[in-house]
Structure 1
């Protein structure tokens, strides 16, 4: 099989996937997510039901089809942070950039789409699960990150010896305590992320324009991230 043939097949797959997604979104908006079936979507897209499920194993994936990017977002912001930048600084910078480009990953959608999600218990539950996965991915990333030797998070716990020069900068903890610290920091960053996501969605449902929302969320985000600065501002500084 030639490279050109492979390229055409991949293009056809992308087009089919996009067509299924577009028809599904239109039906969800017209009928509601919970009242739309896979059979309805297959009929509208003129494909077999199995084709729909091959591309989208879960019905929720048809509505939240950027879920993989969403789950990885916070972890990728931290892994790609700049020299001298902390985990908090990286998440703050990534969020502000997403606001600037009105990124749907952080919640920018049309009002009718936001209403469709809010009116579906299934999608609300799925979104909650995706936020949990987003936090878990961040915690896993933070657990791999070295902590600067002079970080307050490197101070020994009561009863532990003070680390000597040359010792592992990831002390004072053993592996379990290090993972616990990473999870605690991830929980704080993810909580801020959830709060801002919900605020954005609330304003979208209220009918505010994207520009008005972005201006308001810029101020809110700065305030929320500033509140975290004293506790975790130096954590995982590169």
Structure 2
């Protein structure tokens, strides 16, 4: 990659981050449905066509933060050490996320993270788009596990477990508890849930 190409890529990433950051700030301040694309473009100091080049829909402006986790379960299965069962690798990965207070586990009490989760979980169009992301993750995980119905069923179960655990953790924190306080319960819940998987 040439220096010029690398510079362009970094500039695009900064622009993408600036647009998404402006959008999320406005959404948290006013609510998702009360913010227009024009408002976001103005706050990010870009044109509407530029905004849509980076984010095809308003929902994508929020769920962009989940992009790093797209296909994560499938990667965990593909990259696991020899001799480690897929469910064991996924369990270990989720537990590591809890220990690191990874927002995707719901076990993060930073006020912006709690507010961001509230925005996603309580806005119907965002919740629907998140479900679509999760279905794509389910297909990717099923492909990493195998081609048969057992692989598809296991993929659906694993992602349902992760979703329920994360939402449960977030709800406890949203009701005023700290991540530190919830951690032992979150770990025990994760152990119980993953141990019930085949």
Whether TM exceeds 0.5 here: the answer is yes
Distance in 1 of aligned mates of 2:118 and 2:157: 28
Does the residue aligned with 1:34 lie in a helix, a strand or coil? helix
Contact 2:104 2:166 in 1 (8 A): no
> How much has 1:210 moved relative to structure 2?
2.2
Paired residue for 2:71? 72
* Cα deviation digits, residues 169-192 of structure 1 (max 9, x gap): xxxxxxxxx511111221221221
Q: Does structure 1 residue 3 correspond to structure 2 residue 2?
A: yes
Q: Report the TM-score, using the length of structure 2 for normalisation.
A: 0.89
Contact 2:77 2:86 in 1 (8 A): yes
Does the residue aligned with 2:80 lie in a helix, a strand or coil? coil
Contact 2:101 2:179 in 1 (8 A): yes
Please identify which structure carries the higher helix content: 2
Distance in 2 of aligned mates of 1:213 and 1:22: 28
> Number of matched residues?
194
Paired residue for 1:49? 48
The structure with the larger Rg is: 1
Does the residue aligned with 2:71 lie in a helix, a strand or coil? helix
Mind listing any 5+ residue stretches in structure 2 that lack a counterpart? none
Paired residue for 2:194? 225
Q: Does structure 1 residue 26 correspond to structure 2 residue 25?
A: yes
Distance in 1 of aligned mates of 2:48 and 2:76: 37
Alignment RMSD: 1.8
Q: Report the TM-score, using the length of structure 1 for normalisation.
A: 0.75
Change (3 A) 1:53 1:129: same
Match of residue 192, structure 1, among 142, 161, 164: 161
Distance in 2 of aligned mates of 1:129 and 1:106: 18
Contact 2:165 2:190 in 1 (8 A): yes
Change (3 A) 1:70 1:17: same
Mind listing any 5+ residue stretches in structure 1 that lack a counterpart? 144-177, 233-238
Does the residue aligned with 1:65 lie in a helix, a strand or coil? helix
> How much has 1:24 moved relative to structure 2?
0.6
> How much has 1:105 moved relative to structure 2?
2.8
Match of residue 125, structure 2, among 103, 122, 125: 122
> How much has 1:142 moved relative to structure 2?
0.9
Match of residue 208, structure 1, among 174, 177, 189: 177
